[in-house]
Amino acid sequence: MSRFHAPIAEQIWDMKYRLKEADGTPVDGTVEDTWRRIARALASVEQDQALWEDRFYAALEDFKFLPAGRITAGAGTGRAVTLFNCFVMGTIPDTMGGIFDALKEAALTMQQGGGIGYDFSTIRPRGAEVKGVAADASGPLSFMDVWDAMCRTIMSAGSRRGAMMATMRCDHPDIEAFIEAKKDPARLRMFNLSVLVTDPFMAAVKADGPWELAFGGRVYKTVQARDLWNRIMRNTYDFAEPGVIFIDRINTANNLGYVETIAATNPCGEQPLPPYGACLLGSVNLAALVTDPFTPHARIDEAKLADLVAMAVRMMDNTVDASRFPLPAQEAEARAKRRIGLGVTGLADALLMVGLRYGSDEAVAQTSAWMKAIARASYLASVGLAKEKGAFPLFDAKAFLASGNMMGMDEDVRAEIATHGIRNALLTSVAPTGTISLFAGNVSSGIEPVFAYAYTRKVLQKDGSRTEEEVVDYAVRLWRELKGDAPLPDYFVNAQTLAPLDHVKMQAAAQRWVDSSISKTINCPEDISFEDFQEVYLSAWDQGCKGCTTYRPNAVTGSVLTVSEKEPKPEAQPQTGGEVVYLSEPLDRPAALEGQTYKLKWPGSEHALYITINDILIAGHRRPFEVFINSKNMEHYAWTVALTRMISAVFRRGGDISFVVEELKAVFDPRGGAWMEGRYVPSILAAIGGVIERHLIAIGFIAGEGLGLKSDPKAEIVTSLAKAEGAPKSVCPSCGSHAVQMKEGCMSCNDCGHSKCG
C-alpha cells in the first residue's frame, strides 16, 4: 500500500527526490528506500550507526520530519553536492580585485545550487572618488548587474537554480537607486532585494525627522526619513520589491552577537547569516502529529512532539558533518557554530484539525504554544548533544546567555545551557516548504494559511496527452474521509480571504520562539489602499517581526496572466508612425534590400567579424529584416551561422524586435570580456548586440542607446486571466502549465512543484 496521500506527492518524489542512475534508472525503488538512504547517510557519523539509522528512519517515516529538499535529494547519493540550503557570502571589499574575487566565490557556490545573500552596502556610492585612477566610482548597482549576469550564465549552463538576495543599508547614499532598481523590468531579475532598516531609521520615520545618507564618514545627502520610507513602500506596493529587513532587531536578538555581525540574509529571508554563514533546513510536519482531528479531543501530544524534535535536531547536527561545502570558508563557519534551521510545516492544517481559524486570537495563542514547545525541545536536545559530543567551538556561556533571544528563554533551559553548553548556536527557522509540503501530501506550507483547499491539476501522460486530477489540501482530504460530504466549517479560511493584519499576527506569534527568522508572504488584496498597505509593515515592526514580505497582485507585478490557446492569432496591421506590427506570417523577402556592413574586431582575436544588417521598407519606415555574420575564423562558423538564422527569423516576424539587442548585450562570458572604445563589454555576443543597436539607432528604429525593449513583447501578449479561488497564476518555466502561485516569498508551481527560489 502506498505511503503517499496524493498522486502529486508520488510524482514530486519521483521527479525531485528519488535517487536514479544517470540514465534515469531508479535506485530508490520506493519512498521507504529514500527514507532509508537519508537515515543511513545521517547516521554514518555516529558510533552506533545501526541504532541511529533505525531511529532516524522512524522520524522520517510517514512524513513526520521533512528534511529540506537538498538533504532529501542529496544525502547518501555519493554526489558532490552540498546539503546546505542557505549561504551569505563574504563581505565585499571596496576594491576592484576584491569585488571580482567575491564574484568568483558566488559563482562557485551557485554552481552547487546554493542560494546566496550579499550586502552591497560596503561598495562606495556612484560618483565617489576612486583614488589613483582619476575616475569616479560606478556604484554598487553596477556591480549587482555583473552578479546578475553571472547568475544567468550559471543557469544557462544547466545547473540547478540558486537564487540571490541583495541587501543595502537604509543610510547608503545609493539607497534611493536601489529601492527603485526593479522598476526596470529587465534589470536584476536574478535578485531579490531588501532594505536593511535600522532602529534609528524607524525612530526617524515615526518622528518625521531628517535622515543622513553617508559612506566612509562623509554625508552625501540628507533626506526626510518618512519620504525615504514612503519610497520603499511605494515601490513595494507597485513592484513587490524591495522587502524590508529590520537588521538591528536581528543583531540584538542573535545568540552569536558576541562573535558576528549580520548584514544579509539568504534569498527567502528566513536565515540572517554572517559573512560565509551557512545553514541547513528541516521541518516538523505538525499536520501529521494531530490526534483525533476534527473532534473536541483533537490535540498534538507535546511529549511526542518533543521526541520528534530531539531526533530532528540530532539528524540536522549530523548533517553539518556529513555535508560538502562549495568553499572552505563556508565549511569553517558552519563547523565553528553548527547553525541549524529547524522549522515547521502544516501549521494551518493542524490549526484546522483542532478547530481553530488561522489568524484568530485562539490560533495565535496555540501557534505560540506549539512554537514555544518546539523551541524548548530543540534547545534541550542540543544541550543533550553538547553533553555527549561537546558544545559548538565558539560557545561562551556568559555572552551566549546575554543575547536578546536567550534573555527571553525559560530559566530551566538557560540553567542547562550554563551548566553543559549547547551543541548548536542557533536552532530554529521557518523556511519555504512548498515542494516538501506537496511531497508530504499537500499539507499547508510553513506557517502560511492554506493557499487553496482544492484545485485541478493538469498531468502530462507518457503518450503526450494531458489528464486532470484534483489536488486537495491535507486537512480537507481528512475532513472528507471523516465527515463525508458535510460542508467545511466557517473557520476554514485561505490566504486570499484572510486580512493582511491577521497574517502579521501569526508571523509575530511564531517569531517570538524562532531564533533565526521566518519566510512568510503576507497576501494583500489588489485593491488595498496604499495607507493600509503601509500599515502592514508598521504593524510588523511594532509586533516584533524581523522582516516583512508582501504580495499584492497587480498588472505590474504580473498578477499573472496567461495565454489562451483558443485565442485567434492577431492579424497583420498596416504600420503607421512608430506603431508596432505583429505578423501572423513572416515577411517575404524582396529581391533587393538596402543595408550596412560593420567590422567588429574582438581584442585578442586574429580575425574580425563582419556583420551585415539589411532593412526592409514598410509604410515609409525602415526596419531590420535580416543579419549575416561572417568571419575567416572557422572556429566561429557554427555559432555565427546559428545566430544569423535565429536573429533573422526574429526580425522577419515583425513587431518591436529591439529586445534582441538587450538579450545579446546581457550575455556574460565566464572567461572574461574586453575593453572596447573605453567601455567594458562582457562578451563577443554583447559586442554583436552593440553593433545591432547602433544600426537600429541609425535607421531610427529606436531613439538611443539602452532604449530597446528589455523582453520580447509578443511572448507577453495578455489574452486571459487564470484564477483559482482568487489566486493569480502564471506559466511555469519547468512544465509549462498555468499553475504558478506566490507562496512563502516564492513563485511555486502546483502542477510540477517547480519553485523560483530553488
Identify the domain containing residue 156 by its residue range.
86-253
At residue 731, does pLDDT exceed 70?
A: no
- Assess if residue 39 is contained within a domain: no
- Cell 553548553 appears where? 421
Q: Which three cell numbers stand for residue 166?
A: 541583495
Closest to 350 (Cα-Cα) out of 292, 289, 305: 289
What is the maximum alpha-carbon separation in the chain?
90
- Assess if residue 313 is contained within a domain: no
Mean pLDDT of 191-197: 95
- Assess if residue 145 is contained within a domain: yes
Q: How far apart are CA 196 and CA 248, in angstroms?
A: 9
Mean pLDDT of 217-239: 96
Distances in whole angstroms, Cα of residue 668 to Cα of each of 116, 119, 554, 687: 19, 22, 32, 11
Mean pLDDT of 412-435: 96
- Assess if residue 387 is contained within a domain: no
pLDDT attached to residue 152: 76
Q: Which three cell numbers stand for residue 582?
A: 505583429
DSSP 562: B
Q: Which three cell numbers stand for residue 213?
A: 545618507
| Sequence-distant (≥ 6) Cβ neighbours of residue 324 within 8 angstroms | 80, 81, 82, 83, 112
- Assess if residue 636 is contained within a domain: yes
pLDDT confidence tier of residue 114, bands split at 50, 70 and 90: confident
- Please say which residue of 228, 253, 278 terminates a domain: 253
Closest to 226 (Cα-Cα) out of 238, 241, 211, 236: 211
pLDDT attached to residue 753: 63
Q: How far apart are CA 434 and CA 69, in angstroms?
A: 10
At residue 577, does pLDDT exceed 60?
A: no
Mean pLDDT of 352-370: 97
- Assess if residue 600 is contained within a domain: yes
Identify the top-confidence range among 348-357, 595-604, 747-756. 348-357
pLDDT attached to residue 563: 27
Catalytic residue annotation = 266, 268, 270
At residue 579, does pLDDT exceed 50?
A: no
Mean pLDDT of 382-393: 98
Residue 354 near residue 367 (C-beta atoms within 8 A):
no
Q: How far apart are CA 224 and CA 232, in angstroms?
A: 13
Residue 432 near residue 268 (C-beta atoms within 8 A):
yes
- Please say which residue of 679, 696, 715 terminates a domain: 715
Q: How far apart are CA 691 and CA 696, in angstroms?
A: 9
pLDDT attached to residue 744: 66
At residue 581, does pLDDT exceed 50?
A: no
Mean pLDDT of 279-304: 96
pLDDT attached to residue 682: 86
pLDDT per residue as tens digits for the range 64-92: 999 999 999 999 999 888 899 889 999 99
pLDDT attached to residue 745: 65
- Please say which residue of 253, 277, 300 terminates a domain: 253
Q: How far apart are CA 86 and CA 9, in angstroms?
A: 25
One-letter amino acid at 347 equals: L
- Assess if residue 427 is contained within a domain: no
- Assess if residue 267 is contained within a domain: no
Indicate the number of domains in the chain: 2
CB atoms within 10 A of CB 572: 13
